[in-house]
Structure 1
Amino acid sequence: MKVNFTIYGEPVGKERPRFNLATKRTYTPNKTKSYEELIKWLYQSKVKHYFEGYIKMTLRCYYSIAKVIVKRLKSRKK
């Protein structure tokens, strides 16, 4: 079985867990948590069943070109 779905927008990398000194507990940053929930929601809206066992996954991430690189390319053209 093959499942394809697209997540539009800029890809978000998983941030490192944070540590709260007062409670001595680790927690996941909000940006990571909300992006993971978005991916979960998109997958569950597309696929109505769950896989059992191991799966093979292929990801294609398309990032916008960094501003620094764009500036370098523009300066080389002149």
Structure 2
Amino acid sequence: MHQPEALGISKELKEQGYGLMCVGYPLTDLVLETVSEDEVYELQFGEYFAKQALDPTNAVNIERDDYALSIANMDE
């Protein structure tokens, strides 16, 4: 699948066969298998964000905003 405008997915994931069907098009016949977008997100960002969020020495860069969480959960 040719996807030069797929800026939302890393080169490594493209090489593993992942693609964004919204901006890709086939160069030959192909069969697509869809997966949850969460799978791609986790593969691309999950491990990195989890490492930062769980790093106790990273308080300057990772702050928990309880007010924003309250609004998001409609607890406010």
Q: In which range does the TM-score fall when normalised by the shorter chain?
A: under 0.3
Bigger radius of gyration, 1 or 2? 1
Higher relative contact order (CA 8 A, sep 6+): 1
TM-score, length basis structure 1: 0.23
More strand by share: 1
